[in-house]
Structure 1
C-alpha cells in the first residue's frame, strides 16, 4: 500500500472535486503544486503520528474527497487552515526526539516494518519526517490544501 500527498490551491481542488471522473484525473493533474510519495515507510510513520492530536491528520486527512468511496483508493484532504496548523507543529518537531528506538520496537511488535532492521526503520522515519516538514512548509507558505491518496500501485499506475 502506498501513500501520496498532493498540494493544490483550494480553487483547483474544488474544480477537481466537481469534475473528476477517476483517481487519475486528480493524481495526474497538471495543477499539482507539490507532491510527496511514500511506499512501505508510511505505516510506521503513521503509527508514530497517530498519538498526536494535530499530527494524526498529516497522512490521514479527515475530509473525504468523494461521497462515493472506492475500495481500491482512499482520497481525503486537509484544508489550508489545517495545513497551516500541521506545519506549525511539524516545524517545531525535533525529529530525533520524536522517533525513539523504543518506538521502533513497538512497531516490530505490531508487525509494522518487521522486515527492516531498527537502524533502517529509524533512518527511513527520519527521512520521511524531514520530507513531511518540507512538504507542509511549502503547502502552508503558499496557502495550499493537501490531498492524500492511498492505494496499491499508485506510482506504477499514474506516473
Structure 2
C-alpha cells in the first residue's frame, strides 16, 4: 500500500512539472548563429561527392552450393544393385576455412548418417567435394530402406543446399 502511494505521489510530481499549452523551451538562443544543413555528399565523400576508397570495395560474394547425385544409373537404382550413392557438392564464396557437413536422410525423415569435412578456399574459388553413402552390405540394403532420400548440406552449421535421389526395392 505504501509503494502505491509513493508511485502516485511521484507521478503527480512529474505531472506538476509539465507546462501545459507551451512548446518546449529551446536551449539555442533565437538570435544565435544559423547553420545551413549539411549536404549528404559532405559526409559520404569529399566536397565534390566522390566516394571514399572503402566505399568502392565490392561486398563479398555470398556462399553458394549446388549438389548433384552421381553414380546412380537408371537401371541400377535397386537396393540389391547399388554399391553406394555419390553426391558431389560444389561450393563457392567460402572465406578461408569452413566445415561442410552432409546429412543423409532416408524416406522416414530421420537422419541416417552425418559426415563432415573441412574446406579451404578463397572467396573467388569454387571447390567440389564428394560424399558417398554406402548401400551394399549396410543397414540401407538389409532393412530395405527404399524410397526418396535427401542429402542435406550445411556450411558451418548453416543450411547450404539439398539433393534428392531414389533407391528402389
What range is the shorter-chain TM-score in?
under 0.3
Structure 1 or 2: more strand by fraction: 2
Structure 1 or 2: more helix by fraction: 1
Please identify the structure whose Cα radius of gyration is greater: 2
